[in-house]
C-alpha cells in the first residue's frame, strides 16, 4: 500500500493537477472547448435548416477558417503584450455575447456569417494565450504532464463535443441549445477568475505605448522567424503539429465516406467506430506521456507517432483482407463466438492507434515549443502555429473530398499514409543532421 501511495504521489499527471491555478485553467478549458466544438455542429444545423444548401454550410466553415490564416500571427503579438488571464476571460465572455443573436428566429444568413466570423476572430487570441500561460502555471519538470492534460482537454473534448452536439440538439432544440452553449462559455469565464498567476514581471508592458503601431507589430513578427531559423527544434515542433493537424482535418473529411463506402456501415455509427476509439487512444497516450514522458526524446516520439498513424492509414482500406487471412481465421476458431474478430473490431483498434499516435506528436511537440521559447515570444509562436494550421486546413476542405470522389476514399487514405511515412523518414534525417 505504501508503495502504491508513493507511486501516486510521484505521478506527473496528479502532481500537476494538484496545482490549483493549472487545475482551474484546465477546468475552464473543458467547458469552453465543449461549447466551442458543439457550437460548430449547432451552427451547421441552423444554417442547413435555414438554407438547405451545402454551399451555405461551406461558407460558414470558411468564415471560421479565414481569421486563423489572416490574424493568428498578429494576435500572437498582442498576446505577448497583454495580460493573458484577461485575454482568456474576455474571450469567453465575448464569445458568449456573440452567440446571443442566434436566439433571434430566422436570422439573416449574412448576419450568421458575420457573427461566426467574429467568434473566430476572438478565438484567435485564445489558443496562443492558453498555450503560452501553461509554463507560467506548471514547473519545468512537469511540463510534459501539463501538456498531456492540455492536449487531451483540447482534442479529447473536441471529440466529445462533436459526439454530444447531436443529442443536445435533439433534447433541447435549437434555441435552448444556444442558451446551453452561452452558459458553458460563462461558466468558463467564471472559472478563469479563480486563476492566480505567479508574480512575473512582464517586460512586454514596457511597449504598451506602441501597442497598435504596425511597424512595431511587423518587427515583432520578424523576430519569430529569426528565432525559428536559429532554434531548429522549435521549427520542427511547429511543422510536426501543423502536419498532424492537417491529417486530422483530412481524417474528418474522409471519415464519413470511409464508413459508408468501404465499411458499408450506417453513417450514424461514425462516432462509435472511429471518433470514440481515437479519443480513448489519445487519452491513454496522454496519461502515459504525463507519467513517463520526461524520459522520451521529444522529436523521436513525434516522428514515431506520425509514422505509426501513416502505417495505419495505409492499412485502413484493406481491413477486409486483413480479417480474411488464415491466421485471423485460426484465432477466431479458438475464440468464443461472441468475440470473433471482424472488420469493425480491427477498425476500432486502428482508430485507437490513430488517437494514440497523434498524441505522440502533439504533446512532446507542444512541450518543446514551451520549453525552448521565452515568455515574451510564446504568444507569437502559438499565433504562428494557428496561422499555419489555418492555412493547411484549407487543403483538405477544398481538395480531399473532391479527390475521394474522383479516385475513391481508399486511394486518398493510402496516399496520405504514404506521404506521412515519407514525411517521418525525412524528419528523422533532418533531426540527425
Per-residue pLDDT tens digits for 106-158 = 888 888 889 989 998 998 888 888 877 888 888 878 887 887 788 777 777 77
Measured CA to CA, the distance from residue 287 to residue 291 in angstroms comes to 6
What pLDDT is recorded for position 324?
54
Please determine, for residue 99, whether its predicted confidence score (pLDDT) is greater than 90.
yes
- What mean pLDDT is predicted for residues 33-62? 75
**Listed residue (74, 64, 58, 73) closest to 118, CA to CA:** 64
User: Pick from 263, 257, 299: which is nearest to 396 by CA?
Assistant: 257
- Answer yes or no: are the C-beta atoms of 299 and 180 closer than 8 Å: no
pTM over 0.75: no
Torsion of CA 110, 116, 119, 123, to 10 degrees: -140
Query: 335 phi and psi, to 5 degrees?
Result: -85, 150
User: What is the 3-class SS of the chain, one letter each residue?
Assistant: CHHHHHHHHHCHHHHHHCCHHHHHHHHHHHHHHHHHHHHHHHHHHHHHHHHCCHHHHHHHHHHHHHHHHHHHHHHHHHHHHCCHHHHHHHHHHHHHHHHHHHHCCCCCHHHHHHHHHHHHHHHHHHHHHHHHHHHHHCCHHHHHHHHHHHHHHHHHHHHHHHHHHHHHHHHHHHHHHHHHHHHHHHHHHHHHCCCCCCCCCCHHHHHHHHCCCHHHHHHHHHHHHHHHHHCHHHHHHHHHHHHHHHHHHHHHHHHHHHHHHHCCCCHHHHHHHHHHHHHHHHHHHHHHHHHHHHHCCHHHHHHHHHHHHHHHHHHHHHHHHHHHCHHHHHHHHHCCHHHCCCHHHHHHHHHHHHHHHHHHHHHHHHHHHHHHCCCCCHHHHHHHHHHHHHHHHHHHHHHHHHHHHHHCHHHHHHHHHHHHHHHHHHHHHHHHC
Q: Is it the case that residue 191 has pLDDT exceeding 90?
A: yes
Which domains are assigned to the chain?
1-195 (1.20.1250.20), 223-433 (1.20.1250.20)
For residue 208, is pLDDT > 50? no
Query: Is it the case that residue 205 has pLDDT exceeding 50?
Result: no
What are the b/e assignments for 139-178, b being 16+ CB within 10 Å?
eeebbbbbbbbbbbbbbbbbbbbbbbbeebbeeeeeeebb
| Tens-digit pLDDT profile for residues 403-415 | 777 888 888 889 8
Torsion sign across C-alpha atoms 364, 366, 369, 372: negative
Q: Kindly report, residue by residue over 377-433, the tens digit of the pLDDT.
A: 777 777 777 777 777 766 666 677 677 778 888 888 898 899 999 988 888 877 766
Quote the mean pLDDT of the chain. 78
The pLDDT, as a whole number, for residue 202 is 47
Amino acid at each position: 500500500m505504501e508503495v502504491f501511495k508513493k507511486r501516486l504521489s510521484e505521478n506527473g499527471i496528479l502532481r500537476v493537477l494538484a496545482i490549483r491555478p493549472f487545475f482551474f485553467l484546465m477546468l475552464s478549458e473543458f467547458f469552453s472547448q465543449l461549447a466551442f466544438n458543439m457550437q460548430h455542429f449547432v451552427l451547421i444545423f441552423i444554417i442547413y435548416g435555414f438554407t438547405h444548401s451545402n454551399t451555405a454550410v461551406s461558407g460558414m466553415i470558411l468564415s471560421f477558417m479565414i481569421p486563423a490564416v489572416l490574424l493568428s500571427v498578429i494576435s500572437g503579438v498582442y498576446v505577448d503584450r497583454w495580460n493573458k488571464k484577461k485575454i482568456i476571460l474576455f474571450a469567453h465572455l465575448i464569445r458568449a455575447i456573440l452567440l446571443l443573436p442566434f436566439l433571434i428566429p430566422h436570422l439573416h444568413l449574412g448576419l450568421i456569417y458575420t457573427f461566426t466570423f467574429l467568434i473566430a476572430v476572438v478565438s484567435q487570441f485564445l489558443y496562443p494565450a492558453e498555450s503560452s500561460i501553461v509554463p507560467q502555471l506548471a514547473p519545468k519538470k512537469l511540463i510534459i504532464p501539463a501538456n498531456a492534460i492540455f492536449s487531451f482537454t483540447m482534442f479529447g473534448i473536441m471529440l466529445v463535443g462533436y459526439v454530444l452536439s447531436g443529442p443536445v440538439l435533439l433534447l433541447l432544440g435549437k434555441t435552448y441549445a444556444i442558451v446551453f452553449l452561452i452558459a458553458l462559455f460563462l461558466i468558463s469565464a467564471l472559472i478563469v477568475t479563480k486563476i492566480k498567476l505567479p508574480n512575473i514581471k512582464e517586460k512586454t508592458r514596457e511597449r504598451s505605448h506602441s501597442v497598435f503601431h504596425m511597424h512595431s507589430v511587423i518587427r515583432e513578427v520578424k523576430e519569430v522567424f529569426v528565432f525559428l531559423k536559429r532554434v531548429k527544434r522549435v521549427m520542427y515542433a511547429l511543422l510536426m503539429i501543423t502536419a498532424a493537424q492537417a491529417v486530422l482535418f483530412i481524417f474528418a473529411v474522409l471519415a464519413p465516406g470511409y464508413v459508408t463506402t468501404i465499411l458499408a456501415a450506417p453513417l450514424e455509427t461514425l462516432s462509435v467506430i472511429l471518433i470514440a476509439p481515437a479519443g480513448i487512444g489519445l487519452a491513454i497516450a496522454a496519461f502515459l506521456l504525463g507519467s513517463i514522458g520526461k524520459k522520451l526524446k521529444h522529436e523521436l516520439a513525434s516522428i514515431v507517432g506520425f509514422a505509426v498513424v501513416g502505417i495505419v492509414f495505409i492499412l485502413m482500406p484493406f481491413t477486409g483482407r486483413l480479417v480474411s487471412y488464415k491466421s485471423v481465421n485460426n484465432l477466431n476458431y479458438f475464440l468464443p463466438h461472441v468475440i470473433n474478430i471482424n472488420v469493425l473490431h480491427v477498425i476500432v483498434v486502428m482508430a485507437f492507434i490513430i488517437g494514440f499516435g497523434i498524441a505522440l506528436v502533439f504533446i512532446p511537440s507542444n512541450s518543446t515549443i514551451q520549453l525552448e521559447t521565452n515568455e515574451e515570444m510564446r504568444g507569437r509562436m502559438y499565433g504562428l502555429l494557428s496561422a499555419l494550421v489555418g492555412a493547411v486546413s484549407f487543403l483538405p476542405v477544398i481538395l480531399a473530398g473532391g479527390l475521394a470522389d474522383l479516385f475513391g476514399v481508399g486511394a486518398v487514405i493510402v496516399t496520405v499514409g504514404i506521404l506521412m511515412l515519407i514525411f517521418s523518414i525525412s524528419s528523422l534525417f533532418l533531426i540527425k543532421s
